[in-house]
């Protein structure tokens, strides 16, 4: 039987991994929804990880008989298992993907040993950033926030503050802001924003325009200035920058 690393390396798309002097990290995605797990593994491969995806805990254990992954990205509830129990079986760090809302489930998962928790729906860039942080730091700590000037995005709590005052955003607006902030100043096309901040096969370019409009208004009302830091780049998309505010 092939080792975990051999299977991950031979997974579709792995031949296009960028060259690096460091050994690529092994990341395993466990997600019952086939479209979502495909999208997640494709995004992780873009960062140079040896990434594979399976739909169940049984498949994950079978795949990792010889070698554990460096990081597990798993749906919280699996058939006859959970992400936390699976991480313990595999002996690796875990980012738990949960559909539960509220602070209590998040705190409970972290208290139970989760290295990070991400609520659905989430943006692909937010997931990629959290994976990079955990793989760099091991179990030392989590990336808690992204700060651009007076604006702070608290990734763990999914909260936004401007000059330490809370800014209330919907889950979609939060995911959209994360996509625009990682990194700030980059022009993102409508298609990119759909891919990063919307679930697969949902929404369209007009949905992006509508959400950008509401996000701008909320950031403006919070005091970030005209346009809320989001500028329209003609025939290209949108960019977040506070340089001119």
Q: What is the pLDDT averaged over residues 145-158?
A: 80
Higher pLDDT, 48 or 67: 48
Does 145-240 match 4-137 at the fold level? no
Q: What pLDDT does residue 171 have?
A: 84
Q: How far apart are CA 129 and CA 127, in angstroms?
A: 5
Domain boundaries, given as residue ranges, for the chain: 4-137, 145-240
Find where tokens 């809302």 sit. 101
- CATH architecture, domain 145-240: Orthogonal Bundle (1.10)
pLDDT digits (tens, 9 = 90+) for 154-202: 876 778 999 989 999 988 898 889 888 877 788 889 988 887 777 666 6
Check residue 111 and report its DSSP letter: H
The contacts of residue 22 (CB under 8 Å, 6+ apart) are: none
Q: Phi-psi bin for 237: left (phi > 0), alpha (psi -120 to 50), beta?
A: left
pTM of the model: 0.53
- Gap between the Cα atoms of 53 and 31, Å rounded: 7
Residue 186's pLDDT is 84
Computed over every residue of the chain, the mean pLDDT equals 82
Mean pLDDT in residue range 114-120: 90
**pLDDT at residue 11 greater than cutoff 60:** no
Tell me, rounded to whole angstroms, the distance of Cα 217 from its chain centroid: 25
pLDDT band at 2 (very low <50, low <70, confident <90, very high): very low
Neighbours of 32 (CB within 10 A): 14
pLDDT above 90 as % of the chain? 36
Helix then strand then coil, in percent of the chain rounded to 5, is 40, 20, 35
Average pLDDT of the segment spanning 206-211? 92
Mean predicted confidence (pLDDT) in 50-67? 87
- Domain spanning 4-137: CATH 3.40.50.700: no
Residues in the chain: 245
Q: Report the distance separating Cα 75 and Cα 68, nearest Å.
A: 18
């Amino acid at each position: 039987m092939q080792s975990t690393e051999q299977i991950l390396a031979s997974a579709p798309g792995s031949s296009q991994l960028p060259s690096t002097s460091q050994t690529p990290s092994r990341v395993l995605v466990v997600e019952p929804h086939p479209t979502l797990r495909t999208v997640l593994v494709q995004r992780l491969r873009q960062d140079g990880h040896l990434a594979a995806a399976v739909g169940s805990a049984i498949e994950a254990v079978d795949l990792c008989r010889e070698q554990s992954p460096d990081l597990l990205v798993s749906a919280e509830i699996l058939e006859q298992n959970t992400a936390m129990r699976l991480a313990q079986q595999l002996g690796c760090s875990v980012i738990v993907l949960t559909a539960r809302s509220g602070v209590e489930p998040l705190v409970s998962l972290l208290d139970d040993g989760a290295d990070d928790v991400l609520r659905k729906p989430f943006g692909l860039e937010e997931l990629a950033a959290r994976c990079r942080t955990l793989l760099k730091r091991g179990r030392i700590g989590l990336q808690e926030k992204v700060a651009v000037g007076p604006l702070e995005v608290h990734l763990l709590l999914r909260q936004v503050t401007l000059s330490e005052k809370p800014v209330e955003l919907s889950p979609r607006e939060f995911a959209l802001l994360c996509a625009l902030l990682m990194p700030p100043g980059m022009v993102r096309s409508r298609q990119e924003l759909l891919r990063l901040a919307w679930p697969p096969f949902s929404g369209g370019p007009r949905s992006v325009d509508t959400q950008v409009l509401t996000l701008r208004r909320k950031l403006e009302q919070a005091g970030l200035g005209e346009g809320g830091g989001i500028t329209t780049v003609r025939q290209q998309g949108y960019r977040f920058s506070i340089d001119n505010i």
